């Protein structure tokens, strides 16, 4: 491809050509275009069959029952449904004794939520919303490597703890939380566990049984599927404990209403199948390229790696270029498409809240860049990137 080398796969991935082909076959009159809920004719049956095949493909990626996969518009909606839905199901409604109109009914949320200060905004913002509506929230602070431990969760548990919500992989530094250990702890204490796996699915194994997760969010565009579609895994035994936040027809076994976008779901299913088939080989290849990129720039003055070296996904590399202004650095790296952190906070001039929570100073956080590699990153791309980074950083440091 022409243009800068794309090293921002953690923000989004391009749709795989095989995925695009499968989606295209679900758009026009001569394809599978119908409403999957139209069960009175052949076209609707055909669409429903495609949707259920996609559900099985996503279930295979997660190692779960297809009936535990709930379609959503993406991980943001999945996170909102998981957090708000669990607490809404247990909420109480107080009605004014003077006027029983629904307008005068007040919903009272209660219980305790455990999450962390380095979660994606799609978890932090719903958690803050719940906090403003009566839920007690414990905000855990990660280690210097960006990891939240099971001991931290154990120490934060209370008698009224209803949900623990933690990401499997941090979106900025790629640190991997010990979710299986946390899941076992939650199961032993009869506390539900929600996992944001948007950065994990398709990059490392995501096995909901091994993780002992009750709810798990993912987004298709993070593993070479289309934007605007995702899923929430909801363990069958707890589905009645989840209140829907979107109403209008009772689709998805009552958990999420709305006409299903056949083409997007087919694309997500195809992307999931491709990700699962190539997981082992791609993990090794991309990890090798990531390590080569780091080796090529590690000896530059005042350069250090943010986050862990061992418990990290193969595609993430977050680097601090101390003493160099981050905005100037990003603008100077014209031959690379990279970011300073989450795409959802890229419009903000504030230093990364994730890096600051890990103990970095504001200046070091400002001077940090996230490089994220993927399926279409080549060895040649990495060598060109190394050369460009070395040249650019040396010029900025000499200025």
Q: Catalytic residue numbers?
A: 344
CA distance 213 to 216: 7
Are 365 and 327 contacting, i.e. CB atoms less than 8 angstroms apart?
no
Cβ atoms of residues 32 and 26 within 8 Å: yes
Compute the residue count for the chain.
399
- The Cα–Cα gap between 11 and 172 comes to 9
Structure tokens belonging to residue 199? 């950065």
Element (H, E) at 210: helix 208-211
Sole residue written with tokens 């095989």: 18
Separation between Cα atoms, residue 181 and residue 188, nearest integer Å: 11
The residues, ordered by sequence, that sit 6+ positions from 307 with a Cβ below 8 Å of its Cβ are: 145, 146, 170, 172, 173, 174, 175, 316, 318, 358
Q: Mind spelling out the 3-state secondary structure of 43-102?
A: HHHHHHHHHHHHHHHHHHHHCCCHHHEEEECCHHHHHHHHHHHHHHHCCEEEECCCCCCH
Q: For residues 80 and 358, what is the distance between their CA atoms, to the nearest angstrom? A: 25
The token pair that represents 315 in the structure block:
């595609």
Task: Return the sign of the alpha-carbon dihedral for residues 198, 282, 374, 141.
Answer: positive
Rounded CA separation 326/306 (Å): 14
Cβ atoms < 10 Å from Cβ of 322:
15
d(CA 244, CA 96): 25
């Amino acid at each position: 491809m022409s243009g800068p080398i794309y090293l921002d796969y953690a923000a989004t991935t391009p749709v795989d050509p095989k995925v695009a082909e499968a989606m295209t076959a679900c758009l026009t009159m001569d394809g599978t275009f119908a409403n999957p809920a139209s069960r009175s004719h052949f076209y609707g049956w055909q669409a429903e069959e495609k949707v259920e095949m996609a559900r099985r493909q996503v279930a295979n990626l997660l190692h779960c029952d297809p009936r535990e996969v709930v379609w959503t518009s993406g991980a943001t909606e999945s996170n909102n449904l998981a957090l708000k839905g669990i607490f809404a199901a247990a909420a109480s409604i107080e009605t004014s004794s003077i006027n029983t109109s629904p307008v005068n009914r007040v919903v009272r949320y209660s219980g305790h939520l455990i999450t962390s200060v380095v979660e994606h905004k799609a978890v932090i913002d719903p958690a803050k919303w719940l906090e403003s509506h009566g839920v007690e929230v414990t905000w855990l602070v990660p280690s210097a490597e960006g990891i939240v431990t099971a001991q931290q969760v154990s120490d934060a548990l209370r008698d009224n703890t209803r949900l623990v919500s933690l990401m499997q992989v941090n979106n900025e530094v790629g640190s991997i939380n010990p979710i299986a250990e946390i899941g076992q702890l939650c199961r032993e204490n009869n506390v539900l566990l929600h996992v944001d796996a948007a950065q994990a699915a398709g990059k490392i194994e995501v096995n909901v049984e091994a993780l002992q997760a009750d709810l798990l969010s993912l987004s298709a565009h993070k593993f070479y599927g289309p934007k605007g579609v995702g899923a929430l895994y909801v363990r069958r035994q707890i589905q009645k404990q989840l209140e829907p936040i979107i109403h209008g027809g009772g689709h998805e076994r009552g958990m999420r209403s709305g006409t299903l976008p056949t083409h997007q779901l087919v694309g997500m299913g195809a992307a999931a199948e491709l990700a699962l088939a190539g997981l082992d080989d791609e993990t090794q290849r991309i990890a090798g390229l990531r390590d080569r990129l780091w080796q090529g720039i590690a000896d530059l003055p005042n350069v250090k790696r943010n986050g862990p070296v061992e418990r990290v996904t193969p595609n993430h590399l977050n680097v601090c270029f101390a003493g160099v202004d981050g905005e100037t650095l990003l603008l100077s790296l014209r031959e690379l498409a990279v970011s300073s952190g989450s795409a959802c906070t890229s419009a903000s001039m504030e230093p990364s809240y994730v890096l600051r929570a890990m103990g970095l100073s504001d200046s070091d956080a400002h001077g940090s860049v996230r490089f994220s590699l993927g399926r279409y990153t080549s060895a040649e791309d990495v060598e060109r990137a190394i050369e460009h980074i070395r040249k650019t950083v040396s010029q900025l440091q000499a200025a």
